[in-house]
Structure 1
Amino acid sequence: MGALVRLIVVGAGCRGEIYSRYSIIHPDRVKVVGVADPRKFARTKFQQLYNIADENLYEDWRILAEREKCADAVLICTPDTLHKEPAVAFAKKGYHVLLEKPMATTAEDCIEVVGACSQSGVMLCVGHVLRYDPSICKIKELIDSGAIGDVIHIQHLEPIGFYHFAHSFVRGNWRNEAESTFALLAKSCHDIDLIYQWAGKRRCLKVTSFGFVSHFTPEHKPTGAGNRCLDCSVEDTCPYSASKIYLDRVKKGNTGWPLSVICPNSIPDIETVTEALRTGPYGRCVYECDNDVCSNQVVNMEFEGGLTAAFSMVAFTEEMCKRKTTIYGSKGELTFKDDEIRVFDFLTQKASKYVVNSDYPKNFGLPGHSKADYYLIDSFISAVMNNDPSLIACDPEETLQSHLVVFEAERSRRESRVVHFNHSG
């Protein structure tokens, strides 16, 4: 096994914080030695947590990339539109790269990232955290073992959660395509990637998609509603009230997500959260925002060999990010919900249930995939320590292919047509 892995972090926001936390749990495996972030508060927080030298704190990652190589790997956790440039630069410098998903916001940039890593001979791990969830790994294992025979159809649902969508995709950083990207790429490239994995080596041949910006539009604004929740006379009747989503949480002592997002430069308390809602984007009426990303979308795919798949993404759900999956095979049916896998065998007409227990630090990452967050960074560090890219759950080419399906699905939605993939050459 190799020596201690030295990391630099580009983007010290939510994702950067989560992955870096691994070094606190495993100081014998990892040390964070540098950080680049335009926010002084974020840099100072990282310096205090990880004892980073002053000369390794940067506002601009470009200065760090131009320096002599000072670490083994880089975590790139910048906003979506700022993924490609640092990924390419650090790969060319010889750093192994953990790149938050999506790889980039255009197909051309994704291809460039993969090409740069390949040409430089460095490992690329894209943040498709769900591939590292022990239950998802068990599903793949069951499929590969022939437990349900040949996979014929996949039905997969991502329930985003009503307040999560309002937070991230109506008021927040992913609300507007011009500032970020379309919702299917930002939120659900995870899910298309899983479908691609479950399909095995079969290539996607055709894709169609339909989706809409539903409900969060000016015509749905209640009579008498204000432009901000703190000044709204009907706020108590609105399920998307910022007071309910944020102030009620801080009153209960919650200072993590999503409060950490609306107060990125301070520790959230009643005063800072109230001020953020009074003046910032998260206090706006959900019916008066500049959101233009889909709140509900379906994607239908045809793979080689007659395999079909249907994916649904919807904002208006009680549960948050608790995926539901049914995989129909020639010899059985597999369902996955609430961390339980059930396989029904057509021959014996009996069902087997699997609950995968795993030993990981609780509350390591974001709600919905904290254990997956842990196992992803654990796998990446192990891959770097052992110089073994096989420890990364998805190779760059496969990751690129699933991204391309997402881009083509969105093209189908915009152009209202079936998109055929050209696999020639």
Structure 2
Amino acid sequence: MKLGVIGYGSRISYVISEMINQDARCHIAAIVDVRKDEIRQTLAEQGNTDVRFYDTAEEMLASETLDGVVIGTRCSLHTEMAVKVLATGLPLYLEKPVSTTMEDLYRLKAAYEASSSQVIVSFPLRHSEIVKQVKEIINSGKLGTIEHVQAVNNVPYGNVYFQNWYRDEEETGGLFLQKATHDLDYLNDVLQLKPVSVCAMTSKQIFKGTKPAGLKCKDCEENRTCAESTAFKTDGTELWEYCAFAEDTGNEDSGSCIVRYETGMHLTYSQNFFARRGAQARGARFLGYKGTVEFDFYTGIVKVHMHHTPRVETYDFSLGGGHFGGDTDLAKNFVELMQGTAESRYSLEDGLLSALMCLKARESAMTDTFQSLAWSDVQEAVYV
């Protein structure tokens, strides 16, 4: 099965390795990437010298006979490249967020509706083993109907969003699109309810300052005392190379949203990017009248608290693999799409909805307003 790759970054190279693990017939046939010389050398060192390189996605799609296309570009190009692939009808694997602007989101929706492509969006959390366990517990009915959700994501590696290219909000679209897009997707999948409105608030209290724009950590006079310094990392990398307290450090460093669903119940979600070490947390509490289930990705623990009996059930997933098996299932599902043996379990409809919720949360935070999640309102906002 021949893969065409648009944007061969670290995440996509890992996903492709998972696809090859699922079926050894999968291989990279062609790549479009501005770093083609570097990538060609890396692949050659791995013994892979048969990959063809192209300057544009159009050239690759016109020249190659492919079984599927994988998009792993920077975020602002996801929609542009996806629209090109959707026009071919080929199976598509698309990294999140699927769009970073409302205009792109509506354009992607229209292109998808006109396409015959099967699409998988990179949402590994929804089919991770730990989330599937939570969903099984909820679907059993033992908790009653879920009437409230409290979700959290305290990110311990927040530097990545302030000290490398992710600090550019024109690329990221804000941190709801970078992180909450995953969480809101798995929450929607567990609840199986339609979200109808959202309100949100963001803050930038920590990662801001007056250091010169573009200042690199290694060039700062405070790099021996700053808690965020990476100037003396011993592994030789400069992944987080820029100053976190410079005037051009973008992105909010915390954000929260409230989502109302069609039944009238609501969900709260909060994310933070300066929590560290033991303060890390990512998971949710689902509360019904009869009981509550809670879990945390970092600990791998699921707990069920029954409200009217003195009973607590505990499930331990602490030895789970990449995204608790979610990455493996993503790869398996895409191989199945190329083989024509299954439908997508990570559909673009879900990716569009998650991006819509994040974009509307960002708009809410900027305007202090509640935002509708109806597509008709999106169309009016884009084209008026």
> Could you report, residue by residue, the CA deviation over 1:58-81 in whole angstroms, capped at 9, with x for unpaired residues?
2322210232x5111111000101
**Secondary structure, counterpart of 1:147 in structure 2:** coil
1:173 paired to 2:165: yes
The residue that corresponds to 1:393 in the other structure is 345
1:82 to 66, 77, 82: 77
Query: Which range moved further: 342-351 or 13-22?
Result: 342-351
Q: 8 Å contact 1:32–1:52 — kept in the other structure?
A: no
> Could you report, residue by residue, the CA deviation over 1:260-288 in whole angstroms, capped at 9, with x for unpaired residues?
x74xxxxxxxxxxxxxxxxxxx4332211
Q: 1:122 to 1:284 in 2, by over 3 A?
A: closer
Taking structure 2 as the reference length, the TM-score comes to: 0.87
The residue that corresponds to 1:36 in the other structure is 32
How far did residue 340 of structure 1 move? 1.1
Taking structure 1 as the reference length, the TM-score comes to: 0.80
**Secondary structure, counterpart of 1:129 in structure 2:** coil
**1:71 & 1:44 partners in 2: Cα distance?**
23
The residue that corresponds to 1:302 in the other structure is 260
1:198 paired to 2:190: yes
**Given residue 96 of structure 2, which amino acid in structure 1 is its aligned partner?**
K
1:377 paired to 2:343: no
Q: 1:184 to 1:160 in 2, by over 3 A?
A: same
How far did residue 233 of structure 1 move? 4.4
Q: 1:233 to 1:407 in 2, by over 3 A?
A: closer
1:216 paired to 2:204: no
Q: 8 Å contact 1:76–1:98 — kept in the other structure?
A: yes
Q: What runs of 5+ residues in structure 2 fail to find an aligned partner? A: 378-384
**1:84 & 1:57 partners in 2: Cα distance?**
21
**2:231 & 2:155 partners in 1: Cα distance?**
20
The residue that corresponds to 2:382 in the other structure is none
Q: 1:32 to 1:322 in 2, by over 3 A?
A: farther
Q: 1:376 to 1:358 in 2, by over 3 A?
A: farther
**Secondary structure, counterpart of 1:413 in structure 2:** helix
1:313 paired to 2:271: yes
**Secondary structure, counterpart of 1:208 in structure 2:** strand
2:364 to 412, 415, 424: 412
How far did residue 26 of structure 1 move? 4.1
Q: 1:388 to 1:321 in 2, by over 3 A?
A: farther
**1:145 & 1:307 partners in 2: Cα distance?**
20
How far did residue 156 of structure 1 move? 0.8
Q: 8 Å contact 1:35–1:46 — kept in the other structure?
A: no
Q: 8 Å contact 2:6–2:70 — kept in the other structure?
A: yes
Q: 8 Å contact 1:91–1:97 — kept in the other structure?
A: yes
How far did residue 46 of structure 1 move? 3.4
How far did residue 190 of structure 1 move? 0.5
Q: 1:230 to 1:52 in 2, by over 3 A?
A: closer
Q: 8 Å contact 2:97–2:351 — kept in the other structure?
A: no
Q: 8 Å contact 1:296–1:314 — kept in the other structure?
A: yes
How far did residue 148 of structure 1 move? 1.5
The residue that corresponds to 2:295 in the other structure is 336
Aligned length: 371
The residue correspondences of 1:282-293 to structure 2 (distance < 5 A) are 282-293=240-251
How far did residue 315 of structure 1 move? 0.7
How far did residue 415 of structure 1 move? 0.3
> Could you report, residue by residue, the CA deviation over 1:48-100 in whole angstroms, capped at 9, with x for unpaired residues?
5473535x212322210232x51111110001011112211112112100000
Q: 1:134 to 1:358 in 2, by over 3 A?
A: farther
**2:353 & 2:289 partners in 1: Cα distance?**
26
- Percent same amino acid at aligned positions? 23
How far did residue 325 of structure 1 move? 1.4
User: Could you say what the CA RMSD is over the residues aligned between the two structures, in angstroms?
Assistant: 2.6
**Secondary structure, counterpart of 1:130 in structure 2:** coil
How far did residue 153 of structure 1 move? 0.9
The residue correspondences of 1:18-33 to structure 2 (distance < 5 A) are 18-33=14-29
Q: 8 Å contact 2:74–2:171 — kept in the other structure?
A: no
The residue that corresponds to 1:128 in the other structure is 123
Q: 1:383 to 1:142 in 2, by over 3 A?
A: farther
